[in-house]
């Protein structure tokens, strides 16, 4: 999430220094806060094995397209 926020801030030309204390996330999201706090390494193995070609391989490119077309 930290990396995504950094890239999002870069694309939008805005600072990304807003932080929420972990305890607040734990109160609102319970066990699900672990995914938010620690992240999840998700790799689309079958999709890659099938030689699918992603339109955007990097989050930065996808966000630029989303915001600026």
Chain segment 15-52, per-residue pLDDT in tens: 887 778 889 989 999 998 888 888 777 888 999 899 99
> How many domains does one find in the chain?
1
Place of tokens 């966000």: 63
Contact 1, 56 (CB under 8 A): no
C-beta neighbour count of 68 within 10 angstroms = 8
**CA distances from residue 44 to 17, 22, 47, 54, 56 in whole angstroms, order as listed:** 30, 28, 5, 11, 14
Residue 12 is assigned to a structural domain of this protein: yes
> pTM value?
0.60
Domain that holds residue 15: 2-60
* Residue 66 domain flag: no
Q: With respect to residue 68, please indicate whether it lies within any of the assigned structural domains.
A: no
């Amino acid at each position: 999430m930290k990396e995504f926020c950094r890239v999002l801030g870069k694309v939008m030309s805005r600072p990304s220094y807003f932080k929420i204390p972990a305890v607040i996330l734990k109160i609102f999201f319970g066990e699900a806060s672990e995914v938010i706090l620690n992240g999840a390494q998700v790799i689309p193995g079958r999709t890659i094995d099938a030689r699918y070609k992603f339109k955007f391989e990097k989050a930065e490119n996808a966000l630029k397209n989303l915001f600026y077309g």
